[in-house]
Amino acid sequence: MQINDIKQAVITATEELILKGALKKGAMVVIGCSTSEVGGGVIGKSGSLEIAEAVFDGAHEVLSKNGINLACQCCEHLNRALVLEADAASGLEVVAAVPKMHAGGSFATTAYKRFKNPVLVEEIKADAGLDIGATLIGMHLKRVAVPLRLSVKKVGEAPLFAAYTRPKYIGGERAEYK
């Protein structure tokens, strides 16, 4: 497993997510990442800042270039709170915590260090997301999540799942939808 391969897999997956999810400037993407799983281990047991940096850098590069906000999910020890840029947290309740390797995880710790003005929030309703290593990002997606099949099936050794969201269909048989 090469760090450059991990970063490239994330770049490709993020580009496909934007395209297939029809994400627009200002959208929010949540990413959960178990660096332990990416490295071939068991979630929560062997975190890696080097892997976290590759994942963060790959995703952040693509998303920021497209004007899309990134929310990085912490591990269960911080109740899966999210690290994001303060300006992307407008209207959200900020919480007081700083992620660390064993309380937040490597990925969230890296995001906190690399964002210009990081804050933590407890919850968001993201437009799309990438789940790297079964981190359970669904709680942070808008109500109707649509699974996406990407060309990238794994990041390192971790399974990759993706979803975008769409508005709810309401009104029944007499309603019309776009």
Q: How many CB atoms neighbour CB 4 within 10 A?
A: 9
What is residue 14's predicted lDDT score, i.e. its pLDDT? 98
Which helix (DSSP H) or strand (DSSP E) does residue 54 occupy?
Answer: helix 49-65
The CATH number of the domain covering residues in 3-167: 3.40.50.10360
What is residue 16's predicted lDDT score, i.e. its pLDDT? 98
Q: For 7-62, write each residue's pLDDT tens digit.
A: 999 999 999 999 999 999 999 999 999 999 999 988 888 899 999 999 999 999 99
What is residue 173's predicted lDDT score, i.e. its pLDDT? 78
What is residue 175's predicted lDDT score, i.e. its pLDDT? 83
Whether residue 105 contacts residue 74, with contact meaning beta carbons closer than 8 Å, is answered with yes
Using CA atoms of 72, 59, 130, 116 in order, give the dihedral in degrees to the nearest 10: 20
Q: Domain boundaries in the chain?
A: 3-167
Model confidence at 172: pLDDT above 90: no
What is residue 111's predicted lDDT score, i.e. its pLDDT? 98
Global model pTM greater than 0.85: yes
Given pLDDT bands bounded at 50, 70 and 90, which one contains residue 1? Answer: low
CB burial of residue 100 (10 Å; 0-12, 13-18, 19+):
middle
Given pLDDT bands bounded at 50, 70 and 90, which one contains residue 170? Answer: confident
Q: For 74-114, write each residue's pLDDT tens digit.
A: 998 899 999 999 999 999 999 999 999 989 999 999 999 99
Residues in the chain, overall count: 178
